[in-house]
Chain A
């Protein structure tokens, strides 16, 4: 069975600094997708970034980038130039073509001015 593990329950960063959130996963599939979702207090899950496993190039979206290590089954999220609005729960998730998402337990990110 596929599993997603986030070992950092909480992280904190100062405004304008960089922070990295960790995620590892387990799967026997060769084709799959990995995601980082942001969940603010409003509870709505917002997609931050996604990575297709067949792509070697790490995905980037503005201040957000990932370090995808397929052999190590590691998928970390780097947030550069952190902003107060980045404070939220961040969930790492896995999916295949069946589309259902398997989530980790989340990391609470605090951003200090």
Chain B
């Protein structure tokens, strides 16, 4: 079974530029998450999708961050314009539907450096 695919693996941009990250979930996984992991911290949820609907985006800085999940499969996360404090690893995770709490599978993340 193929895992969660993320691209690019690394990205360096200047502040005020735009950037987009892409996530391809495990086939059939209905739930998709984007987490932000700042150096030295644990990941923090940015947004949770169930199929193509948003379940939780309470921690997403909506003035500069946006995310979409077209057709309930692939997802993109965009930052526009980027700030220095957005430097972090952006992790995508997906889960199958099921009763109770099911296992989340993570991609390898995108390391973003804003200079």
* Residues of chain A whose beta carbon lies under 8 Å from any beta carbon of chain B: 4, 33, 42-47, 50, 52, 91, 93, 95-106
Contact = CB atoms under 8 A, between A and B. Distances in A.
Given A33-B101, A44-B106, A101 B43 contact: yes
Contacts, number: 59
Interface residues on B, range: 20 to 34
Nearest to B55: A98
Secondary structure of the A side of the interface?
A: loop
Interface stretch (B16-24, B61-69, B72-80, B88-96): B88-96
Interface of B: 3, 31, 33, 35, 40-45, 48, 55-56, 89, 91, 93, 95, 100-104, 106-109, 111
Contacts of A100: 33, 45, 48, 56
Contacts of A98: 55-56
Contacts of B44: 103
19 contacts: A43-B89, A43-B91, A43-B108, A43-B109, A44-B107, A44-B108, A45-B43, A46-B106, A47-B103, A47-B104, A91-B42, A99-B31, A99-B101, A100-B48, A103-B42, A105-B41, A106-B40, A106-B41, A106-B42
